[in-house]
Amino acid sequence: MQNLHYRVAVVGATGMVGQRFVTLLEGHPWFTPVALLASARSAGKTYEEAVGHKWAMTRPIPAYAKEMVVLDATADAKSLVGKVDFVFCAVDMKKEEIRALEETYAKLEIPVVSNNSAHRFTPDVPMIIPEVNPEHLGIIPAQRKRLGTKRGFIAVKSNCSLQSYVPLLHPLKKFGIESCAVCTYQAISGAGKTFETMPEIVDNVIPYIGGEEEKSEQEPLKIWGGIEGDAIVPAAGPVITAQCLRVPVSDGHTAAVFVKFANKPTKEEIFKAWADFEGEPQKLALPSAPKQFLHYFEEDNRPQPKLDRMLENGMAVSAGRLREDALFDYRFVGLSHNTLRGAAGGAVLLAELLAAKGYFD
Ligand code: NAP
């Protein structure tokens, strides 16, 4: 892969996902961070002042970011024109406000790689897991036509919950997945929280995460859908039913998965499908791509968030405990790092795919 170089800004840089972006961009071979943006509350402060006690990464704030003066994501958007080649966006605002903010950047001819859910169901906005549906980038010319842009567009990544099971189901689609039940055990960083800011989770489980079950059931169908004309049309199936629980884990979403097939494979066929699976990021050797995307643990007590979330720099997806099921055909457990593979890392990988395919030129 050629040596690419693009300038990038992080919108929402002071948040939980934004901090991951700031960390991942330190020394990135292709992307140089040149601006950090957040709300008017943070604007005008140095990044170190603005992020203050909210810094939640285990590493210190990267030196390049400490003294950068944070800009206002709305008021200063125009000032980025000509200075950045694209932006990452992860903000906590009302959906309509996020939709408008992301379209503002796209219409300024600044492509947006987004972690937000606001545009996930806009029919001409691709929602990408780079290993699973890279072909959906083909909708970008239709989106540019609607927005009236030459360069500008919005591409989004999917919700973090489903990264623990959709990548594992994807190579099994050839056996005809008919239905799937999943229960997710989701880390508190998925709510932008730490144990300090969410003390109510200690010694507890909270059986509700607003909007998460709908996303977990519906987003996979758009990911497995196809481009028809100027829209991505969601797949008709499989039926997915989900329960999402918040558990006292800092990082790493676990999923207990049950799956029924039209043509039930053997266990060996499932192991082989997982071991052999590679996508465009592996073929293109993108800088953030895990070498082995899907890992299977033979041990009965794995994968565990604490032990296994950082596999391949937090970009791999793990599975374990594959066994037959009395109601469905099989059940297994999946795990992914929610703020790396599930959020900022997945978005960086998506941006690398977009860069490699020439969408930022
Ligand atoms: P967060 O920690 O609450 O951070 C929110 C960020 O949004 C901060 O930088 C904040 O800036 C900024 N912000 C708030 N109001 C704003 C405004 N009016 N204008 C501009 N910026 C504003 O949230 P998060 O967990 O990082 O999540 C951010 C987004 O990513 C959300 O849409 C979330 O659904 C999505 N997401 C999160 C995860 C995860 O694992 N955490 C996974 C996937 C997707 P200030 O510091 O100045 O207030």
Q: Which domains does the chain have, with CATH numbers?
A: 6-159+343-356 (3.40.50.720), 162-336 (3.30.360.10)
> What are the tokens at 145?
């036509």
Q: How confident is the model at residue 314 (pLDDT cuts 50, 70, 90)?
A: very high
Q: Which residue puts its alpha carbon closest to atom 7 of ligand 1?
A: 91
- In ligand 1, the atom with minimum distance to the C-alpha of 116 is 32
Which of the residues are catalytic? 160, 253
3-state SS string for the chain: CCCCCEEEEEECCCCHHHHHHHHHCCCCCCEEEEEEEECCCCCCCEHHHHHHHHCCCCCCCCHHHHCCECEECCCCHHHHCCCCCEEEECCCCCHHHHHHHHHHHHHCCCCEEECCCCCCCCCCCCECCCCCCHHHHHHHHHHHHHHCCCCCCEEECCCCHHHHCHHHHHHHHHHCEEEEEEEEEECHHHHCCCCCCCHHHCCCCECCCCCHHHHHHHHHHHHCCEEECCEEECCCCCEEEEEEEECCCCCCEEEEEEEEECCCCCHHHHHHHHHHCCCHHHHCCCCCCCCCCEEEECCCCCCCHHHHCCHHHHCCEEEEEEEECCCCCEEEEEEECCCHHHHHHHHHHHHHHHHHCCCCC
CA of 187 to the centre of ligand 1 (A): 16
d(CA 110, CA 319): 38
Q: Is the pLDDT of residue 296 over 90?
A: yes
Residue 338: CB within 6 Å of ligand 1? yes
Q: Which residue puts its alpha carbon closest to atom 22 of ligand 1?
A: 39
CA of 1 to the centre of ligand 1 (A): 33
State pLDDT tens for residues 237-289: 999 999 999 999 999 999 999 999 999 999 999 999 999 999 999 999 999 99
Q: How confident is the model at residue 1 (pLDDT cuts 50, 70, 90)?
A: low
> What are the tokens at 127?
């929602």
Residue 15: CB within 6 Å of ligand 1? yes
Q: How confident is the model at residue 3 (pLDDT cuts 50, 70, 90)?
A: confident
CA of 12 to the centre of ligand 1 (A): 6
pTM equals: 0.97
d(CA 280, CA 243): 31
Residue 117: CB within 6 Å of ligand 1? yes
Residue 344: CB within 6 Å of ligand 1? no
Q: Is the pLDDT of residue 2 over 90?
A: no
CA of 15 to the centre of ligand 1 (A): 5
CA of 90 to the centre of ligand 1 (A): 5
Q: Which residue puts its alpha carbon closest to atom 32 of ligand 1?
A: 116
**Ligand 1 pocket test, candidate residues 70, 92, 154, most atoms within 8 A of CB:** 92
Q: What is the pLDDT of residue 239?
A: 96
